[in-house]
């Protein structure tokens, strides 16, 4: 493999990276025969990052924001594009080493941008999904769509909740925009696509380390973004830092956590260090320190533009914002300076013209800080659309984007919801592997044979490595499976323990109920005993009272009997006196008869009185017997 680029008298400018900065530089220089422009990029297209989130949320098709370099520069005689990856820079010898070989330069421009910053957290790097490139956003779209499908079919409610719990880490423009787009998807798309899925389970958490969203924008913009997202049902967590992720749980530094299987990591970027460029040439954020002409300080003929360049100025002591406009303006100024230099003119130092910044949250909802104005709502949203539409390259792309947006605006639909996994044929996989093994350093002609041998050995080793890797993958999968099983067992154990706890609690409850019943019964018995004792006492008192009454009655009866006996004695005395009188008047029959009958009457009276007295005594003793019997029955 080689670059196959002709050697010509024109100065060769090698541009590494066809992003905003690199592309603008190429556009400025192309068609100027003083230079031969060679662009290398690992992708064969330029991408438009501001709309990447719309790929991830199925709003736009990839071709709307990706532009093939070869198409853009078709017909340019002094322009060459090569798809490869930069491996190292050799500044003394003025050449670069790439995945397809080496290439010499007169001027080298590094415009490699940045990569996602995980702040050294390996776990989150493996588990979360970044969204910095088109391929990453396609990966994210596939992951989201697969997640919805899985959530719809899983039989476990816990898994469904985890799948539908999305955690977005980073409250900058990207985090805010993806949160808003997902909230709109939840409202308008999911209920149509998944009528049998409870879409209210779809939760969106936006975790932001700082005290406000969109920290690079005005306070007005931050407050409006927070208001819009909250209205749209996004859970915004400010001053919250993601610390760890284990067993499907996102753990924040303050101990709070969310169960989730979908983490989107958009909380920062960092430059990439390049082999051959000493550490001393880098500033904070791994950015190459450049002067006002974008030349890397301390290195001859090496320049840097865009996100990877750190140009400290009076107004921007920490470097320019890592935004499209800074990259575009730097690329343009550097290109013009190359031409000025070639034409013997004075070089122009870079001056950044801040055109403002904006972010969209959803339909009719955006924020914009432009020309000293802080716009929000529909005006900002309309402006945002206009600016982005103008910035998209190519008329066809502008039209297709406009059509997609208009369609989505009218129908609330997002039409790019196909799940397409890329499958590479074996030949491509092998070729990619071979490329990844080759061209890692300078190879002299004398060393070619040795290199070939080494490469073959490396390839053989790589096969062995592949086998080892397969084994390792198997082991890792087995480990994961075992871990999952262990988790399941632990979950079952937990459920069992919970059930046991519940049963114990029930038993305890029953025992308590029983004991309170026993206590109640005991209290009842006691009160019954007490009542019995009271009744006994009462009965005794009654009996006593009854006894006294009977005694009185008996006494009275005896008194009556005595009185009657007295009366009868008196009557007997009278009768005997009468008899005496009768005896005295025996002669008189009449008198005798009268006396006789009187005597009979008196005797009869006496007998009656005696009989009555007897009856009264009997009655009194009968009453006493009855009363004694009653007392005995109560006891
Ligand atoms: C999701 C997202 C949204 C954004 N939204 C906005 C916005 O709304 N407004 C705004 O102003 N800015 C936005 N930005 C920031 C803006 O995209 C960047 O500031 C801008 O792209 C920087 O341009 P650049 O040329 O420095 O780098 P990039 O545009 O990142 O381009 C770098 C290029 O280098 C290539 N490359 C990298 N390493 C190598 C290598 N080793 N070998 C070969 N090629 C390599 C890459 O493939 C890429 O093409 C956003 C960024 C992202 C990620």
User: Given a cut of 50, is residue 448 above it in pLDDT?
Assistant: no
Q: Residues 96-111: what's their mean pLDDT?
A: 95
User: Given a cut of 70, is residue 137 above it in pLDDT?
Assistant: yes
- In a 13 Å sphere around the CA of 77, the CA atoms on its Cβ side amount to 6
CA of 19 to the centre of ligand 1 (A): 5
Per DSSP, which regions of 324-418 are E strands?
Answer: 357-362, 365-370, 373-376
CA of 207 to the centre of ligand 1 (A): 23
The closest-lying atom of ligand 1 relative to the alpha carbon of residue 84 is 43
**Could you tell me which CATH class the domain 11-42+84-113+270-355 is placed in?**
alpha beta
For 587, which DSSP code? T
- Residue 367 β-bridge partners: 359, 376
Topology match between the domains 11-42+84-113+270-355 and 118-267+358-419: yes
The pLDDT of residue 444: 46
The closest-lying atom of ligand 1 relative to the alpha carbon of residue 326 is 19
User: Given a cut of 50, is residue 445 above it in pLDDT?
Assistant: no
The pLDDT of residue 491: 83
Confirm if 214 and 221 have CB atoms less than 8 A apart.
yes
Cα–Cα distance, 616 to 622 (Å, whole number):
10
Cα–Cα distance, 483 to 16 (Å, whole number):
44
Using pLDDT thresholds of 50, 70 and 90, give the confidence band for residue 622: low
Ligand 1 contact via 21 beta carbon (within 6 Å): yes
The pLDDT of residue 114: 97
Q: Residues 377-392: what's their mean pLDDT?
A: 94
Domain extent listing, the chain? 11-42+84-113+270-355, 118-267+358-419, 488-634
Cα–Cα distance, 417 to 415 (Å, whole number):
6
The closest-lying atom of ligand 1 relative to the alpha carbon of residue 322 is 19
User: Given a cut of 60, is residue 632 above it in pLDDT?
Assistant: no
User: Given a cut of 50, is residue 309 above it in pLDDT?
Assistant: yes
Higher pLDDT pick, 264 / 526: 264
The pLDDT of residue 443: 47
385-418 burial, b if ≥16 CB within 10 A, otherwise e? beebeeebeeeebbebbeebbeebeeeeebeebe
Query: Helix 448-584 to helix 426-437 angle, to the nearest 10 degrees?
Result: 110
Confirm if 484 and 248 have CB atoms less than 8 A apart.
no
Residue 119 phi/psi, 5-degree rounding, is 50, 40
Cα–Cα distance, 140 to 135 (Å, whole number):
9
Query: Two tokens at 593?
Result: 């008869």
Three-class DSSP category at 344: coil
Confirm if 242 and 251 have CB atoms less than 8 A apart.
yes
For every residue of 110-151, DSSP letters joined together read E---EEE--TT-HHHHHHSEE-SSHHHHHHHHHHHHHHHHHH
For every residue of 43-107, DSSP letters joined together read SSEEE-GGGHHHHHTTSS-GGGTEEEHHHHTTT-TTEEEEE--EEEEETTTTEEEETTEEEE-SE
Stated pTM of the model: 0.72
Q: What residues have CB less than 8 Å from 615, skipping those under 6 apart?
A: none
Q: What is the mean pLDDT of the chain?
A: 86
User: Given a cut of 50, is residue 275 above it in pLDDT?
Assistant: yes
Which residue has the least CA distance to atom 53 on ligand 1?
132
Ligand 1 contact via 175 beta carbon (within 6 Å): no
Mutate to test the pocket of ligand 1, among 323, 332, 334, 381 (most ligand atoms within 8 A of CB): 323
**pLDDT winner (highest mean) among 331-345, 418-432, 468-482:** 331-345
The pLDDT of residue 88: 92
- Cβ burial, residue 509 (10 Å; 0-12/13-18/19+): exposed
CA of 186 to the centre of ligand 1 (A): 29
Pairing of β 235-237 and β 242-246: unpaired
Token pair 């003119």: residue: 345
The pLDDT of residue 609: 64
pLDDT tens-digit map of 174-196? 999 999 999 999 999 999 999 99
Cα–Cα distance, 377 to 225 (Å, whole number):
10
Ligand 1 contact via 130 beta carbon (within 6 Å): no
Percent of the chain with pLDDT over 90: 60
Q: What residues have CB less than 8 Å from 83, skipping those under 6 apart?
A: 40, 41, 42, 43, 44, 100
Q: What residues have CB less than 8 Å from 415, skipping those under 6 apart?
A: 58, 404, 407, 408
User: Given a cut of 60, is residue 263 above it in pLDDT?
Assistant: yes
Confirm if 106 and 147 have CB atoms less than 8 A apart.
no
Q: Residues 9-15: what's their mean pLDDT?
A: 96
Q: Residues 197-225: what's their mean pLDDT?
A: 96
pLDDT tens-digit map of 50-59? 999 999 999 9
Ligand 1 contact via 115 beta carbon (within 6 Å): no
Cα–Cα distance, 65 to 261 (Å, whole number):
28
Mutate to test the pocket of ligand 1, among 51, 136, 170, 324 (most ligand atoms within 8 A of CB): 324
The pLDDT of residue 454: 58
User: Given a cut of 90, is residue 378 above it in pLDDT?
Assistant: yes
Cα–Cα distance, 634 to 269 (Å, whole number):
100
CA of 159 to the centre of ligand 1 (A): 36
User: Given a cut of 50, is residue 75 above it in pLDDT?
Assistant: yes
CATH number, span 118-267+358-419: 3.50.50.100
User: Given a cut of 80, is residue 100 above it in pLDDT?
Assistant: yes
The pLDDT of residue 456: 57
User: Given a cut of 70, is residue 246 above it in pLDDT?
Assistant: yes
pLDDT tens-digit map of 163-172? 999 999 999 9
In Å, what is the CA distance from 497 to each residue of 98, 158, 159, 487? 60, 19, 21, 15
pLDDT tens-digit map of 531-590? 777 777 776 766 665 666 666 676 776 776 676 667 657 757 765 775 775 566 565 556
The pLDDT of residue 511: 78
Q: Residues 258-286: what's their mean pLDDT?
A: 94
């Amino acid at each position: 493999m080689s670059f196959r680029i002709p050697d010509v008298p024109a100065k060769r400018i090698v541009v590494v990276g066809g992003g905003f900065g690199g592309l603008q530089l190429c556009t400025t220089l192309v068609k100027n025969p003083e230079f031969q422009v060679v662009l290398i990029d690992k992708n064969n297209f330029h991408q438009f990052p501001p709309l990447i989130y719309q790929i991830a949320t199925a709003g736009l098709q990839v071709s709307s924001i990706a532009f093939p370099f070869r198409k853009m520069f078709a017909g340019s005689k002094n322009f060459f594009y090569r798809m490869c990856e930069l491996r190292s820079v050799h500044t003394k010898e003025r050449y670069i080493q790439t995945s397809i070989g080496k290439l010499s330069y007169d001027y080298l421009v590094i415009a490699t941008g940045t990569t996602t910053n995980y702040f050294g957290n390996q776990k989150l790097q493996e588990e979360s999904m970044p969204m910095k490139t088109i391929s990453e956003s396609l990966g994210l779209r596939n992951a989201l769509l697969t997640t919805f499908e899985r959530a719809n079919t899983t039989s476990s409610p816990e898994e469904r909740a985890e799948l539908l719990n999305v955690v977005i880490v980073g409250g900058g423009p990207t985090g805010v925009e993806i949160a808003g787009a997902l909230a709109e998807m939840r409202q308008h798309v999911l209920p149509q696509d998944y009528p049998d899925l409870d879409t209210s389970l779809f939760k969106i958490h936006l975790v932001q380390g700082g005290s406000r969203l969109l920290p690079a924008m005005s306070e007005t913009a931050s407050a409006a973004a927070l208001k819009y997202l909250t209205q749209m049902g996004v859970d915004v967590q400010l001053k919250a830092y993601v610390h760890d992720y284990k067993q499907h749980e996102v753990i924040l530094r303050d101990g709070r956590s969310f169960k989730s299987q979908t983490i989107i990591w958009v909380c920062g970027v960092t430059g990439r260090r390049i082999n051959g460029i000493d550490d001393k040439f880098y500033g904070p954020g791994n950015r190459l320190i450049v002067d006002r002409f974008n030349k890397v300080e301390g290195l001859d003929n090496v320049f840097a533009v865009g996100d990877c360049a750190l140009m400290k100025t009076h107004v921007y002591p920490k470097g320019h914002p890592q935004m499209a406009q800074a990259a575009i303006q730097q690329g343009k100024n550097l290109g013009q300076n190359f031409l000025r230099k070639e034409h013997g003119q004075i070089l122009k130092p870079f001056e950044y013209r801040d055109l403002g910044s904006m972010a969209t949250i959803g339909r009719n909802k955006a924020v914009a800080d432009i020309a000293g104005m802080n716009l929000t709502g529909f005006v900002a949203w309309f402006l945002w659309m206009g600016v982005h539409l103008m910035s998209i390259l190519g008329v066809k792309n502008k039209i297709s984007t406009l059509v997609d947006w208009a369609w989505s605006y009218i129908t609330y639909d997002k039409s790019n919801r196909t799940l397409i996994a890329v499958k590479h044929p074996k030949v491509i996989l092998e070729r990619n592997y071979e490329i990844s093994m080759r061209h890692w350093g300078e190879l002299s002609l004398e060393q070619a044979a040795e290199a070939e041998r080494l490469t073959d050995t490396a390839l053989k080793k790589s096969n062995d490595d592949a086998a080892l890797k397969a084994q390792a993958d198997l082991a890792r999968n087995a480990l994961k499976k075992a871990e999952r099983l262990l988790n399941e067992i632990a979950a079952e154990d937990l459920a069992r323990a919970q059930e046991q706890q519940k049963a114990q609690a029930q038993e305890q409850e029953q025992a308590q109920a029983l004991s309170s019943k026993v206590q109640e019964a005991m209290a009842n018995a006691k009160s019954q005993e007490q009542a019995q004792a009271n009744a006994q006492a009462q009965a005794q008192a009654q009996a006593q009272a009854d006894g006294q009454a009977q005694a009185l009655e008996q006494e009275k009866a005896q008194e009556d009997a005595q009185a009657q006996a007295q009366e009868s004695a008196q009557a007997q005395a009278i009768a005997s006196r009468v008899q005496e009188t009768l005896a005295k008047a025996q002669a008189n029959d009449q008198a005798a008869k009268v006396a006789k009958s009187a005597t009979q009457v008196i005797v009869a009276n006496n007998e009656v009185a005696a009989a009555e007295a007897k009856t009264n005594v009997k009655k009194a003793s009968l009453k006493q017997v009855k009363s004694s019997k009653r007392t005995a029955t109560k006891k």
